[in-house]
Structure 1
Amino acid sequence: MYLKEGRSLLLKVQKPSVPFVLSTNPIFDFQGPHHEQNEPGTPSVEESQVIDRLRNEKDSLVALDFFKSVANSASFKHTPSTYGLMIEKLGRIGEIDGVQYLLQHMKLEGIRCSEDVFVSVIKSYSVAGAAKQALKMFYRIGEFGCSPTVRIYNHLLDALLSEDSFHSITPTYGNMKKDGLEPNVYTYNILLKALCKNNSLGGAHRLLEEMSNKGCEPDNASYTTIVSFLCKYGKINEARDLVSYFIPTVPVYNALINGYCRAGRMREALELLGEMAERRISPNVITYSSILNGLSDTGNIYLSLAILGKMFAHGCNPNTHTFTSLIKGLSSKGRFGEAFDVLCRMQNDGILPNEVTYNTLMHGLCLSGNMKEAVFVLDKMEKNGCIPNVRSFSILIDGFAKSGDLVGASEVWNKMISIGCCPNVVAYTCMIDVLCRNSMFNQAYNIVETMASNKCFPSTITFNVFIKGLCDKGRVDWAVELFDEMEKYGCVPNVITYNEMLDGLFKANKSSRAFELVSDMEDRGIKFNLVTYNTIIHGLCLYSKFVVAEKLFGRMVIQGVEPDAFTLNMSLYAYAKRGKVESATRLLQSFRCFGLYPDIVSYTSLISGLSEHVDLEVATTYVDRMVTEGILPNICLWNFLVRIFVSKVGYLGAVGHMDAVLAST
């Protein structure tokens, strides 16, 4: 069994620069073979003919060949309209070299650049992902006989926003106002998007006020932007309050419904659907799909099917996202037969499943351990002409990793490489996981080195998986070395990394190194989570450091980290071992404050503490209590009670006590 080597970067095919030597191109014949020769110096081609030819030519580079051919002949002299049309065609494919060349020719020929043409120039830079160059070109606008307008500024701001060039947007807007140009609603909407993307809620509110002061009323796009932003950052109630000040449209409702669905507040999302009906606003496919997705996330399949039925009843046709959401919900409940039926229904209705659809079904199958069916879905995906992406393969590799199936994971890996799909950090990490589960640590480390050499650098999650694998197999020394190597790869340990290391070190009886890591966490300002506290408290109890364990439990509660049953049982055990039976008893009583109930471990800890440090009679009352609560003593507890009774009251006394205990149970 071997893995095919995979590279993490694909060579980008560079588009060859368009040659602009205007010389030997053929002259296109517009007039036909029997057309009489025009007199010398008289143009033989009409502007309308050139415009029609340029407009109808789908291939922009072929259109450019024709443009150059005409320019090199004496039959036609290009006009502002033909230049503008050619610049627009080149701009749509991001051919900015060609656009710059044509602009220079316009300048040399003394042809002024109109607003429409300069807008096309700005758009071409945006398509090419060169917003900074668009800004530089804008500052040369006067060279081409054009003046800044609100529309040109708007397209420039939009280009800057598309590349998140927030630092350039504010000064550009300032220059717009210096030029004496009044922003319109389109300008404000771009600025609102910029502020929202830059997490500036206060700035967005101030801009809305500025709009109102300038008499520029926010439109549908303005409100949708703000509502979406508020919902994205969990300010759903604030978004709902804002919506109450105007009559919302479908996009605004969709933004608000999507926010409720993401927060799991399905009742309110459904109430909004009812509100839309009351206002005679028809939900669209986005509305229904958002609700279906939210219901699927919460596992409410029956209501999902009801919403789908309502959707059909209102004449709203589902799309790929709608059906994908339904497949997700069915898969989460293990209803794979119905999920496959939905997949078939999509194809029968002419709605093509995409990568997300197939990946969703594969993910559900892998979670349930149905790897054979998951591979079947991958094959079906390929047969239906949908090319698997790296996520498709990562899902399968992860599924095989969870079951420890190295052969299955390797076959998927090799298939991924063979079709030219380049592994990403997730795929590499999943492969490291399955290798670690099979104790193939050298091979796993080779993958880490391969990732680095292919410029696909491992993440902190990659190291967490590797460290966990090493610690689970008792290779703690190697885990420590790997932990120390993380910074070499530009990775910083997080709380999960420390938790895995602490667990491994305590289990390997390396307490000194474990406590060093605890100090390191505090020095780095990494907050302890529940797992951290549980791991450390357990380690402290293993080494009989009960005083420190008690203090750590107190710190945990003060810092607002809610304990679970493991925390309480370990803390109860620490109190009992030190003879602090009153504290242990109070802790047992406080279980219900945390929504928990004492179990066999809780009572065993308390009974052992009472027996050793207080009184056997008191201990036996807690045996009665646990039996009353339906918790039966196990063999370990019985053995302990026998030993403690014999040591305290002798054999005959122990027999009497045990008879009494047995009688009560």
Structure 2
Amino acid sequence: MAVTTAAAVRRLCATGEVRSALAVLARGAKSCDTVLDVAACTALVHGWCRMGDMVEARRVFDVMPRLGVAPNEVTYTALIHGYFVHGHREMGLTLFEEMRRGGVEPNLYTYNCLIGEWCRTGEFERAWLLFDEMPVKGVARNVVSYNTLIAGLCRHGKLKDAIQLLEAMRKEGIRPSMVTFNLLVDGYGKAGKMSNALHFFNQMKASGFPPSAVTYNALIAGFCRVRDMAQAIRTFSDMKERSLAPTKVTYTILIDAFAKENEMTRAFEMLSEMEKTGLEVDVQSYGVLLHALCMEGKMMEARKLFQSMDSKGVKPNNVIYDMMIYGYGREGSSYKALRLISEMGKIGLVPNVASYCLTIRLLCNEGKCQEAEALIDDMVSAGLQTSESIDRILLDAKARLDDSTYVPSI
């Protein structure tokens, strides 16, 4: 392959134009210019991985040796990472073992990728083994290596280990980044340890990193988690005073927290402010409010909010419908629940098992056995399993109906 062709393949793969890169290769093959280099092949592997086509990525990888091109550590890492990202964990781990057996040494990115995967599943012994192996193999750890492990430890509540790692990081001469501090603020916020979260928030500023919206969101969420709404609002105000625009995440955190505290007026004020700032109010924001209203039995308000979604260009999803059906079920409105199930069918949505079962129970309690049977048939047609309890409820309802209509002969 000519150098210019190899460069073209790499450039096209980098911009996601993998099929165009293959067309370039095809033209090269027709002109007998079929000499491939490892960089071009790796670019193709990486390109297919980015597109989510792991079969094609593996096919290119497997073809390489037959073309006289040996995959290197970059090629292996690209494919391993692709496997992890697209949910093929075991294939990624198997490939890592193949890599080692083949004498290809992992590089910094390989180690970081594997450490991240072990942390994701909470298998820290394996993560630590690789982390400790890096300097032994002559691979210098970087801030990403540390942040990856700190992220995993914080996610799984191992905050003391995360702090020890932060100290080790500093001793190794690696300066914590904004990401490092955000991870710790978030970790302690999720644990409800707000004094520690504020400590790292202040350390972050002292280290020359201005807090970002991500930092503030983590703090606000932490205060909401410990039900300190006054401090959450003060942090929200501080965020705006620092000319940091609250994000959709910020508002959703506060809407959810006020709704859980049953401060619906404040929750709706946050929704209104969110709309005024020009942020898109999505289905999740509506869902938070609808959930609170349905749980409180305020179905008139819930219905009004539900109907307003369409005028705002927000389409209700399965979760929203199921929530409304649950609310109507709690108040015993079988007709309204049944109407929503019918509405879902018309727009191609399928209620969940709980929505079906709740509505069937209501219909049976009201003696509407035909409607209940029809709903069971719909449920089965949708590929959902009924239960013995639902079948029994229907049989009991039919028996009651038969008893009530029985007229003894004279």
Task: Summarize deviations over 1:68-122 as a string: whole Å, max 9, x none.
Answer: xxxxxxxxxxxxxxxxxxxxxxxxxxxxxxxxxxxxxxxxxxxxxxxxxxxxxxx
Q: CA separation in 2, counterparts of 1:474 and 1:589?
A: 39
State the percentage of identical aligned residues.
Answer: 27
Residues 569 and 605 in structure 1, CA contact (< 8 A), matched pair in contact too: yes
Instruction: Pick one of 549, 553, 556 that aligns with 2:341.
Output: 553
Pairing 1:568–2:356 present = yes
Q: Report what 2:7 is aligned to.
A: 221
1:325 is the counterpart of 2:113:
yes
| Distance change >3 Å, CA 616–CA 429, structure 1 → 2 | same
Task: Describe how 1:60-139 pairs up with structure 2 within 5 A.
Answer: none
* Aligned equivalents of 2:115, 2:381: Cα separation in 1: 39
Counterpart selection for 2:396 from 611, 622, 628: 611
Q: Are 1:337 and 2:122 counterparts?
A: no
Aligned mate of 2:41, from 239, 247, 253: 253
1:292 is matched with: 80
The secondary structure found in structure 1 opposite 2:75 is helix
Residues 442 and 491 of structure 1, relative CA distance in 2, 3 Å threshold: farther
Q: Aligned letter for 1:427?
A: T
Unaligned segments of structure 2, at least 5 residues: 28-33
Which residue in the other structure is 2:227 paired with?
439
- Contact kept, 8 Å, 2:325 with 2:340, in 1: the verdict is yes
| Alignment partner, residue 291 of structure 2 | 503
Ranges of 4+ aligned residues in structure 1 off by more than 6 Å = none
Structure 2 CA distance, aligned partners of 1:541 and 1:587?
Answer: 15
Matched, 1:346 2:134: yes
Name the stretch that deviates more: 245-254 or 526-535. 245-254
Contact 1:505–1:513 (CA under 8 A) maintained in structure 2: yes
Asked if the contact 1:550/1:574 (under 8 Å) is kept, the reply is no
Alignment pair present for 1:475 and 2:266: no
> SS of the residue aligned with 2:99?
helix
Equivalent of residue 524 in structure 1, options 312, 321, 326: 312
**Per the alignment, do residues 460 and 302 of structure 1 end up closer, same or farther by CA in structure 2, a change over 3 Å counting?**
closer
TM-score (norm 1): 0.54
- Deviating more after overlay: 577-586 vs 432-441: 577-586
> 1:560 & 1:586 partners in 2: Cα distance?
18
Distance 1:545 1:326, change over 3 A: same
Match of 1:450 in 2: 238
Equivalent-residue separation in structure 1 for 2:157 and 2:76 (angstroms): 31
> How far apart in 2 are the matches of 1:290 and 1:313?
18
Aligned CA distance change for structure 1 residues 363 and 598 (closer, same or farther; 3 Å): farther
In the alignment, is the contact (CA less than 8 A) between 1:576 and 1:606 conserved in 2? no
Match of 1:391?
179
| 1: CA distance, partners of 2:348 / 2:40 | 37
Deviation, 1:292, is 1.8
Distance in 1 separating the partners of 2:375 and 2:393:
15
**RMSD between aligned alpha carbons?**
3.3
- The one-character-per-residue Cα deviations of 1:404-437 (angstroms, maximum 9, x if unpaired) are 3334323332332332322111111111111011
Give the corresponding residue for 2:58: 270
The alignment of Structure 1 onto Structure 2 pairs a total of residues equal to 398
TM-score (norm 2): 0.84
In structure 1, what is the Cα distance between the partners aligned to 2:105 and 2:43? 20
> Larger radius of gyration, structure 1 or 2?
1
In the alignment, the residues of structure 1 paired with residue 285 and residue 363 of structure 2 have an alpha-carbon distance, to the nearest angstrom, of 30
* Cα deviations by residue, 1:356-410 (Å, 9 ceiling, x for unpaired): 2222222222232222222222222222222222222222232333333334323
- 8 Å CA contact retained: 2:189, 2:221: yes
Give 3-state SS (helix, strand or coil) of 1:551's partner: helix
1:535 corresponds to which letter in structure 2?
Answer: M
Task: State the shift of 1:616 in Å.
Answer: 5.0
2-structure distance, mates of 1:493, 1:239: 38
Specify the alignment match of 1:358 in structure 2.
146
Deviations 1:319-352 (A, max 9, x none): 2211111101211232211211211111223322
Match of 1:537 in 2: 325
Point out where structure 1 has 5 or more consecutive residues left out of the alignment: 1-216, 619-644, 650-665
Identify the range of structure 1 (341-350 vs 443-452) with the bigger mean alpha-carbon deviation. Answer: 341-350
Task: Name the amino acid aligned to 2:227.
Answer: S
Q: Which amino acid aligns with 1:381?
A: M
